[in-house]
Amino acid sequence: MKILILGANGFIGSHLSENILAKTDWQIFAMDLTEDKLGACLDHPRFHFTLGDMTQKTEWINEHIQQCDVVLPLVAVATPALYVQDPLRVFELDFEANLAVIRACVQYKTRVIFPSTSEVYGMCPDSEFDEEKSALVTGPINKERWIYSTSKQLMDRVIYAYGKHKELSYSLFRPFNWYGPRLDNVFNPKPGGSRVLTQFIGNILRGESINLVNGGAQQRCFTYVDDGIAALMRIIENKNNAAHNRIFNIGNPTENISIRQLAEKLLEMIGAHYPQYAAQAKAVKLLDVDAGKYYGEGYQDVSLRVPSIAVAKDVLNWQPAVDLDVGLRKTLDYYLG
């Protein structure tokens, strides 16, 4: 199998590339703006990497969409602070740039596996989010935070329509707070400059207070990257065509904790297991901050985000295996070890 991965140097792309090279005989053709997360992949004979911008290298991308069996367009802005700070960039990359890739997949009849997001459910009131039944609920236009969710949702709807009316073969997967090594740069000091876990680790390493937006009461289901990649590998393999034109929530509904509890757990773990950073952890204070002051007035948050994973269990024979304590230790070993 030949696989095209756009955004291969990202968090998901780099872990997926490693997994494919270690466990299959598949060929990978890859592109990204940088290569620092790809390590040994770069020297592997089945990994063919090109440095480039997907918005500029359109001819290269189209040629490889023709040649490959599966395309994974993983390029996206996925940092909440940027949804408010630069909403047009989010739309231009997450929707417009990826739309060109999807249309090429339709033209050349190439299967596409697209990374949707748990954020498409928005403020859905369901206790568990169902891929086929749950409503996708977002806030008012002046809450620019929702441009990421709606860009992804619109892409989901376009892909679904191409599948129904133009015979595009696709799978959509919705990650629920995947985390692990290489998630973000923990040394980025800019508030909101990375996702919540790496933001907190960076705060601790720098001896800074941890800002809990609206008190950190909002809850999230954290999913270790190895579990997510295991599901993604089964989607790519598509045994018995089971993943054809399906949507999959990929998350860990049993690991549902508040953001405040996450911060407290990190401080406890670092204090207990990483003596070189114990003093910093002990000095860190948890501060409640207003979302509007932290992210800007265009921000709006969601209190709960729990996936139903019944479809993934049934169709992919998959369920998460790594509990939060184990996953956090592996992540902290990578950043602090």
Residues 6+ apart with CB under 8 A from 18: 39, 40, 41
Tell me the H-state helices in the chain.
Answer: 11-23, 58-67, 80-85, 87-91, 98-108, 146-166, 196-205, 225-237, 259-273, 278-283, 291-295, 310-316, 324-336
Question: pTM for the whole thing?
Answer: 0.96
57-62, Cβ contacts within 8 angstroms, sequence gap of 24 or more:
57/31, 58/100, 60/31, 61/4, 61/6, 61/31, 61/101, 61/104, 62/104, 62/108
- The pLDDT value recorded for residue 191 is 66
Neighbours of 297 (CB within 10 A): 12
**Going by CATH, does the domain composed of 2-179+223-252+305-321 fall within 3.40.50.720?**
yes
- Amino acid 281 reads A
| pLDDT score of 112 | 99
What local confidence, expressed as pLDDT, does residue 192 receive?
63
Q: Record the tokens describing residue 106, joined without a space.
A: 């339709």
Q: Where are the domains of the chain?
A: 2-179+223-252+305-321
Average pLDDT of each block of 10 consecutive residues along the chain (337 residues)?
A: 98 98 98 96 98 97 98 94 94 98 98 98 97 97 96 98 98 98 86 83 93 94 98 98 98 97 97 95 94 86 94 98 98 95
The torsion of the CA quartet 9, 12, 13, 17, rounded to 10 degrees, works out to: 120
Residue 296: predicted pLDDT: 86
Beta bridge partners of 72: 5
> Residue 36 in contact with residue 184, Cβ under 8 Å?
no
User: φ, ψ for residue 30 (rounded to 5)?
Assistant: -135, 155
pLDDT of residue 295: 85
Q: Are 49 and 31 in contact (CB under 8 A)?
A: yes
